[in-house]
Amino acid sequence: FDTSAPETVDPSSVPQPKDDFQEELVIRPLHSGDIYASFQFRTVWETDFMRGNKVSHYRLFPKSLGQVISKFSVRELHISFTQGYWRTMQWGQPFQPSPPGAELWVWFQDSAECKVYAAGCVDGTWKELTNVLSGIFCASLNFIDSTNTVQPSASFKPLGIGNETDHRFLRYATLPREIVCTENLTPWKKLLPCGSKAGLAVLLKSEKLFHSSFHSQAVHIRPVCQDWQCKTTSWELRQTLNVVFDLHNSAQGKREWSLFKMFSRTLTEACPLASSSKIYIDITDNPQGEQFEVSPATPLLSQAVVLGDRRTFSVYDLTQQITFGTVRSLNLLIRWKSSEGDMLRPLLHAERYVAGYGLQTGEIHTLMYNNHPYRSFPVLLLDSVPWYLRLYIHTLTVTSKGKDNKPSYIHYQPSKDRLRPHLLEMLVQLPPNSVTEVTVQFERALLKWTEYTPDPNHGFYVGSSVISSLVPSIVAMDTNSTRERPLFSSFFPCKEESSYFVRVYTEPLLVNLPTPDFSMPYNVICLTCTVVAVGYGSLYNLLTRSFQIEEPSPGLAKRIANIIRKMRGVPPL
């Protein structure tokens, strides 16, 4: 048969897509014996989705996300799926915070087709975007509609580069009830250039990942600076996966962790498409190796300033064949020798709970703790409460150390029944070493019977509060954003040296609304018996009751006298 060679295209005429893929895994042993593993996969692509001609040649960047960006004029997209709640006091701060359930926030572009004045345009695009994302990630994101979408006025500033921040282009929504399982992990893994076949992604096995205390997977898309001059932008896609393995569930109580124990897999090679593939193990609390021992030993050490602290890491470079040793596989082992030492106390953490009793009213309490001994710092609290909890904003109180603490900025948007939720944003200054309590009373609404979920007695969820803050840092932060840094330290952009940005999420609330009794037999019996008793009973009485005159009964003495008379045979009185 004909074996003519295919036509070769001149390589100089085809512009090579300048994209780059990096992967890293950070393992941080926690003081409670658990272990925190954070995967980050970053693809940077120098292209422009917003220009007129369509992008058609995709290499490392996934096509499904590229089409989403260009079709919906997205400037930034952040979506996360989380199972479990991050315990800040026991585990410290995560590298990428996320609330339980699903969270989606998007900044749209001011495009020619969608001017901001046509307010419905951004809403229409948002609705279509959530439907498309629900198909991509196999999640029920189509439940995001106007009843749980808010437009924050000061929180959630863009994480990428940009010059204008008009908050009319921002949309934020959470689904606290969203379940995360293998069907969400499967499409997430398929977005990676190497899939789950090579590199660090081979460790992502669902049976181990979901048997953990905390599991969060996220996709972040934003424009970043290409170089230090920052005249042109590239698109960055970060896929992050944070997981905390429990000491008793996964390690059977023994303080000895290894890659095989955590993920039931070992590493054999780096992803061939990756320009860098590294594992970092946090050994800051172990400077002389007296707390735990890491094997195989590595000579590479690196220091990075992350979350306000300078941490030291042992680095394993998977692109070097020597890392795998003679057995051609890498199974890191971390064995504890002693269990003293305490961890760095997190400076900011928050709690939230519902107080009150009964099914009519309640009170939401949000507590924010500032653990710094002498510095105070501002926090921005964002609360989005569904419409069926009617907040009484006149009962809003903010107290610190027993005294009233007036917020310097409040933005409140009341809810409209079945249309939009409450939005409360406040900028509060937290005094040093204190607890600030925000309370607001609410009343529970009675829903229409078709609006109840199939399991209404489970309760209804209220999404987590978001607390964004600039926390004073212990060491000077690195503000030079273009130096080569590990991925985990370059997530939040840093503008000043003395503080770092942190976002803390509180617990979601579960409230019971007054629920009608949906059990049919009870209702039918009650109704039928009532109808029978009232209807038939009255009819029967009407037809058969006859009135007779009756003499009033005599007193006791007369009755006794009558009895004696009867015995005597004499007629009664």
The length of the chain, given as a count of residues: 573
Three-state DSSP at 312 gives: strand
134 counts as binding another protein under rule CB under 8 A: yes
Cα(430)–Cα(67) distance, integer angstroms: 43
Among 115, 302, 337, 409, binds another protein (CB under 8 A): 409
Among 30, 121, 154, 474, binds another protein (CB under 8 A): 154
CB of 159 to another protein, least distance (A): 8
Among 115, 197, 211, 328, binds another protein (CB under 8 A): 211
CB of 132 or CB of 315, closer to another protein = 132
310 counts as binding another protein under rule CB under 8 A: no
Q: Which residues pair with 398 in a beta bridge?
A: 438
CB of 206 or CB of 439, closer to another protein = 206
552 counts as binding another protein under rule CB under 8 A: no
Nearest to 145 by CA among 126, 132, 162, 164: 126
Among 32, 109, 146, 206, binds another protein (CB under 8 A): 206
483 counts as binding another protein under rule CB under 8 A: no
Distance of CA 54 to the CA centre of its chain: 33
Cα(316)–Cα(507) distance, integer angstroms: 36
112 counts as binding another protein under rule CB under 8 A: no
Q: Is 92 left (phi over 0), alpha (psi -120 to 50) or beta?
A: left
CB of 62 to another protein, least distance (A): 15
Q: With contact defined as beta carbons under 8 Å apart, do 79 and 102 qualify?
A: yes
CB of 190 or CB of 566, closer to another protein = 190
User: Which run of H or of E encompasses 224?
Assistant: strand 214-225
Nearest to 184 by CA among 128, 239, 238, 260: 239
Nearest to 427 by CA among 374, 470, 365, 375: 470
Q: Which two tokens stand for residue 479?
A: 């503000």
Nearest to 278 by CA among 325, 314, 250: 314
CB of 282 to another protein, least distance (A): 24
| Residue-wise burial string across 109-122, b where 16 or more C-beta atoms lie within 10 A, e elsewhere | beeeebeeeeeebb
The residue count for binding another protein (CB under 8 A) is: 78
CB of 15 or CB of 120, closer to another protein = 15
Q: With contact defined as beta carbons under 8 Å apart, do 266 and 195 qualify?
A: no
Among 33, 160, 356, 431, binds another protein (CB under 8 A): 160
Question: For the window 512-551, what string marks contact with another protein as x by the rule CB under 8 A?
Answer: ------x---------------------------------
CB of 152 or CB of 346, closer to another protein = 152
CB of 454 or CB of 552, closer to another protein = 454
Three-state DSSP at 74 gives: strand
Cα(52)–Cα(221) distance, integer angstroms: 20
CB of 241 or CB of 380, closer to another protein = 380
CB of 228 to another protein, least distance (A): 11
CB of 52 to another protein, least distance (A): 9
**Burial level of 315, CB count in 10 A (0-12/13-18/19+)?**
middle
Cα(157)–Cα(75) distance, integer angstroms: 12
Residues 228-287 that bind another protein (CB under 8 A): 229-233
Q: Is 474 left (phi over 0), alpha (psi -120 to 50) or beta?
A: alpha
Q: How far is CA 326 from CA 25, 114, 268, 330, 491, in A?
A: 22, 59, 11, 10, 36
Token pair 């390690």 in the structure block, residue: 251
Nearest to 68 by CA among 4, 157, 134: 134
CB of 5 or CB of 297, closer to another protein = 5
Among 8, 12, 16, 53, binds another protein (CB under 8 A): 53
Residues 78-107 that bind another protein (CB under 8 A): 83
CB of 434 to another protein, least distance (A): 19
457 counts as binding another protein under rule CB under 8 A: no
Beta strands at 101-108 and 170-175: parallel, antiparallel or unpaired: antiparallel
Residues 422-451 that bind another protein (CB under 8 A): 427
**Candidate ranges 92-100, 172-180, 251-259, 301-309; the one touching another protein (CB under 8 A):** 172-180
180 counts as binding another protein under rule CB under 8 A: yes
**Candidate ranges 90-98, 284-292, 301-309, 467-475; the one touching another protein (CB under 8 A):** 467-475
CB of 501 to another protein, least distance (A): 4
Among 4, 8, 480, 546, binds another protein (CB under 8 A): 4
Among 115, 119, 135, 353, binds another protein (CB under 8 A): 135
CB of 295 or CB of 408, closer to another protein = 408
128 counts as binding another protein under rule CB under 8 A: yes
**Candidate ranges 111-119, 125-133, 260-268, 283-291; the one touching another protein (CB under 8 A):** 125-133
